[in-house]
Structure 1
Amino acid sequence: MSIKLKFFFVLFFLALLQFVNAQKNKFSDLHLKAKYHYGFLLTEYNFFNYFTNNAIRAFDFEITKDLKGNKIWEQVYHHPSVGISFYHGSLGNDTVFGKIITIYPFISFPVIENNRFLFSIRVGAGPSYATKKFDLQNNYYNIAIASHFNIWFRTALDLTYKINNKFSVSSGTAFGHFSNANLAEPNLGLNFWTFYTGADYYLTYKTERKKDIIPNFDKKNEFVFIIAGGGKHTRRFAEQSYFAGSLSGEYKRIFGYKVGVGCGADIFYDASIPDEMQRAEISEVKEIYKLKSGFHLSQELIVGKLSLIIQEGVYVGFIDHLSNHIMYNRGIIRYKFSKHFFANMAMKTNLWILDVAEIGIGYYRN
């Protein structure tokens, strides 16, 4: 596994440790869940329809910890739960796509809750292993995945019914996606939708929730600087890997414990641009075209020291001379590990087409 991919995975687990370490008693409020999934591939490309000959079937085993409000953010989000899940399932064609195995951390946010019912939204991501990958001689139909190790993302809507203090049953629906973040080609990725049912058993004793008076949040400004980089393959099945990086500056307004908005400027460097322009038989090729610049808007969901960010940007100044894209987007995960520094992981896309996965470090101050 590459260093970039390892760092990508480690960041998720560091975020999980922040949640778990918020508890004084690490072994209370633990429960075990088992689920069975049934669903189907969401075929973004019609080509996949010819090779999808079966439904998605999977098993999911989870260890979950209920958070009790020892941190302000836990009370702000109505006492969520965190955990680690082991997922094993098919992908619609065992011969071409194989099966997926993943162990990933997740967090579940309560939406509606009473004495018996709990409706929640769950989000998780982490490393995954695909048993089949693209091979030019032996598996050339699998243009979805070119590597065994990939990145997995999952979101679910879950409804739980509490039978008693020890047992619960649940059902829900989930969306899943996995790909290798453009670290190997081809990389179309796979999306799938499942419906599931399962059972839940409490392993340890429960503790009381804290319900303190949450202090008012003083709105504040935040200034951010990030340097990031990554590797990418082109979509021409070439073996060569290219460096891509970025410098970003941003101003943010933090409105509360949950939400921040901002705007900023970006400079991008992509070493693949001249080679790609030559392959596309574009007559005018310059080294300066490796640079792109733009301005972005940013929306941030804050969960303790962890932030989930979406950005929408427009190329201005150094524009996209290869594909003539006007806009770019980024999905970002940030984890503040000290008073002024954070780890940064981003997926940059041009609309829905993945461009590059970046890892980096940032500096912030209020």
Structure 2
Amino acid sequence: MIFLLVFLSIYSYCVNAQVQPQESKYFFFIEPELMLGKTVSNYNDFPKTDAVQSVFLSVGIKDTRNLHSSQYYNHPTTGLSFSYSNFGNDSILGKAYGIMPFIQFHPWGHLQKAWSLKFGMGGSYFTKSYEDSEQNLAIGSKLTWSFQAFLYRELFALNRLNFRIGAGYLHSSNGHTKLPNMGLNSAHVSLSCQWNSRILISKKKDVYLGTDADPDRKYFINVRTGLGIHEYGGKSKPVGGEKGNVYSTALSGGILFKQHLKVRAGFTYRFYEHYYDQIEESANEDYIDSPSWNASNIYFHLGSEFLIGHFGLDIEGGLNLFKPFYSEYYKTYGGGASEVKYKLKKYFSSRMGLNFYFINTNKLPKNNFFIGANINANFGQADFSEVNFGYTYTFL
């Protein structure tokens, strides 16, 4: 599913390029970037590595339109990054090739416009996984999710060129769809040179002239259904287990701020196939009287979604109100962690993903549908990967 969203982002990017008007409401850029970093050990016997060397090539569009989102983010950038990474131990960790849609913006406005934040989420192909070396507990499958979070500082601009330095974090994980799945993390510094399709010039501060008929906030309701998949077990074992589905339904409501930021609250119901199977097989007297109900999960969630065009970067955290069988699961696969870690994982859930909206969100449609892909976690530990379909209604 994540690769379908990548395809849709490529399609959306090409459509935007074709319909670009002559008055230059957009301009394009190409940015090669060199990164140097170090992997972060996250399990015992993590293989020794040299410096991580990565090359990114990003292509994108800068939005100069006088829309709410453009004004608020000081004219954001969206695009695609194509990447190659060597993790400093080719025999165990191998290399990775990735495609990642990204969003970049200036959250501190015009006073600090030299600084920007970049977030990306996509997919990667690894040349080595656990199947090639049992020392590689980080990557259990050759296809993975990939995430990027970077802070950039512009150094200087010269005609159409913009030179930048950056620092940030890269993460790869298959979202618990195949074990082991410890995940591969690396910290980086970078140097890049951005070529722009027009000469870079300083501009006066843009001011949005709003009206009472165009309020800063609107209200919406959101409903979605999801299908998740995971391999039953802990982060590293058992290897080669059966896959199981997780079915989800969520209902929420919230506020849309300045047509670009959705903040919501609501409830989600989940049903775990693996939990149900384990209850049936073990005939545990605490759960067997109602296996379907005890294999369920109900949680209250708070979420935020950053909207730019057809895409939304979705981040959510939640409090589990009901997840009874997780205690039995943790006894088997918790790895002897402390009681504090157990409580955190039992009661707190998180979710992050990318949504594609059928109608451009800048048009502020009353009715809109979306498809998405996300990774779900128990307080940071991957639980399952999910595809979802949803509907949102905005009260205009």
**Could you say which TM-score interval applies, normalised by the shorter chain?**
0.7 to 0.9
**2:375 corresponds to 1:347:** yes
In structure 1, C-alpha distance between the alignment counterparts of 2:40 and 2:266, rounded to whole Å: 35
Q: What is the TM-score with the length of structure 1 in the denominator? A: 0.85
Matching of residues 89-238 of structure 1 within 5 Å: 89-111=85-107, 118-135=114-131, 138-203=132-197, 211=206, 213-215=208-210, 216-235=214-233, 236-238=238-240
Per the alignment, in what secondary structure is the counterpart of residue 183 of structure 1?
A: coil
Give the gaps of 5 or more residues in structure 2: 331-345, 360-366
Shift of 1:121: 0.9
The more displaced of 222-231 and 202-211 is 202-211
Letter in 1 for 2:377: T
In structure 1, C-alpha distance between the alignment counterparts of 2:52 and 2:274, rounded to whole Å: 37
Per the alignment, in what secondary structure is the counterpart of residue 47 of structure 1?
A: coil
Shift of 1:351: 0.6
Could you say which residue in structure 2 is the equivalent of 1:257?
Answer: 259
Could you say which residue in structure 1 is the equivalent of 2:296?
Answer: 291
In structure 2, C-alpha distance between the alignment counterparts of 1:212 and 1:28, rounded to whole Å: 18
Letter in 2 for 1:222: F
Could you say which residue in structure 2 is the equivalent of 1:271?
Answer: 273
Could you say which residue in structure 1 is the equivalent of 2:40?
Answer: 42
Letter in 1 for 2:83: Y
CA contact (8 A) 2:49 2:88 kept: yes
Shift of 1:62: 2.3
In structure 1, C-alpha distance between the alignment counterparts of 2:2 and 2:305, rounded to whole Å: 24
In structure 1, C-alpha distance between the alignment counterparts of 2:16 and 2:384, rounded to whole Å: 28
In structure 1, C-alpha distance between the alignment counterparts of 2:209 and 2:384, rounded to whole Å: 40
Shift of 1:123: 1.2
In structure 2, C-alpha distance between the alignment counterparts of 1:191 and 1:349, rounded to whole Å: 16
CA contact (8 A) 1:134 1:143 kept: yes
In structure 2, C-alpha distance between the alignment counterparts of 1:37 and 1:280, rounded to whole Å: 51
Shift of 1:88: 1.1
Letter in 2 for 1:254: L
Shift of 1:38: 1.1
In structure 2, C-alpha distance between the alignment counterparts of 1:28 and 1:19, rounded to whole Å: 9
Shift of 1:11: 5.4
CA contact (8 A) 1:15 1:306 kept: no
Select the residue among 350, 358, 362 that pairs with 1:329. Answer: 350
Shift of 1:87: 1.5
Q: Deviations over 1:244-294 (max 9, x none)?
A: 110111121234334333221111011111445689996655332322212
In structure 1, C-alpha distance between the alignment counterparts of 2:223 and 2:89, rounded to whole Å: 45
The 1:267–1:298 alpha-carbon spacing in structure 2 relative to 1, beyond 3 Å, is same
The 1:28–1:261 alpha-carbon spacing in structure 2 relative to 1, beyond 3 Å, is closer
In structure 2, C-alpha distance between the alignment counterparts of 1:84 and 1:354, rounded to whole Å: 25
Select the residue among 75, 81, 99 that pairs with 2:71. Answer: 75
In structure 2, C-alpha distance between the alignment counterparts of 1:337 and 1:225, rounded to whole Å: 15
Letter in 2 for 1:259: L
The more displaced of 241-250 and 138-147 is 138-147
**2:4 corresponds to 1:7:** yes
**2:59 corresponds to 1:63:** yes
Per the alignment, in what secondary structure is the counterpart of residue 71 of structure 2?
A: helix
Identity among equivalent pairs (%): 21
Per the alignment, in what secondary structure is the counterpart of residue 57 of structure 1?
A: strand
The 1:5–1:333 alpha-carbon spacing in structure 2 relative to 1, beyond 3 Å, is closer
Shift of 1:46: 3.3
Could you say which residue in structure 2 is the equivalent of 1:309?
Answer: 314
The 1:33–1:245 alpha-carbon spacing in structure 2 relative to 1, beyond 3 Å, is same
Give the gaps of 5 or more residues in structure 1: none
CA contact (8 A) 1:223 1:252 kept: yes
Shift of 1:310: 2.8
The 1:185–1:171 alpha-carbon spacing in structure 2 relative to 1, beyond 3 Å, is same
Shift of 1:224: 1.4
Letter in 2 for 1:311: E
Shift of 1:158: 1.1
The 1:66–1:313 alpha-carbon spacing in structure 2 relative to 1, beyond 3 Å, is closer
In structure 2, C-alpha distance between the alignment counterparts of 1:178 and 1:348, rounded to whole Å: 14
Per the alignment, in what secondary structure is the counterpart of residue 391 of structure 2?
A: strand
Shift of 1:30: 2.7
The more displaced of 220-229 and 320-329 is 320-329
The more displaced of 215-224 and 108-117 is 108-117
Per the alignment, in what secondary structure is the counterpart of residue 187 of structure 1?
A: coil
In structure 1, C-alpha distance between the alignment counterparts of 2:391 and 2:175, rounded to whole Å: 25
Shift of 1:189: 1.2
Shift of 1:22: 7.7
